[in-house]
Amino acid sequence: MYSGVSETVKQTLKEEGWVGLTRGMCPRVLHSVCFAALGYFAFETVQDEAKNKIALAMYSGVSETVKQILKEEGWVGLTRGMGPRVLHSVCFAALGYFAFETARLSLLHRYLQRKEMDLDSS
């Protein structure tokens, strides 16, 4: 069928174009976005809310602050401001993934062109 990765990429580009190379990327991007959003909530949002309360000298430490916020405001208190932060994280995760994939495909394309020129010259 195919003799290697370069042959597979060339054949896929020839038969299906760029769409063939990017097929299946949507689930991976969705996974990355969800992972970034959950990670951001679990660490950054709670930490920022605790820092804000400590900065206002309402509480003495992070654990006391988190306990007090949960007691007084519930989970909503810890998630205040999460929407814009998640949107920010999602956008940067998507941009990072796009940049990585664009660079990867560009380098792969250059590599295949050079390899093809080497084969033609020999």
pLDDT score recorded for residue 1 = 61
pLDDT score recorded for residue 93 = 85
- Number of residues in the chain: 122
What pLDDT band is residue 2 in, cutting at 50, 70 and 90?
Answer: low
User: Got the DSSP string for the chain?
Assistant: --SSHHHHHHHHHHHHHHHHHHTTHHHHHHHHHHHHHHHIIIIIIHHHHHHHHHHTTS-SSHHHHHHHHHHHHTHHHHSTTHHHHHHHHHHHHHHHHHHHHHHHHHHHHHHHHHHHHHHHH-
Q: Domain boundaries in the chain?
A: 25-121
Higher pLDDT, 96 or 65: 96
pLDDT score recorded for residue 56 = 66
Is the confidence at residue 115, as pLDDT, over 70? Answer: yes
Q: pLDDT tens digits for 23-45?
A: 777 787 788 787 777 777 766 66
Contact, 9 vs 112, CB < 8 A?
yes
| pLDDT cut 90: percent of the chain above it | 0
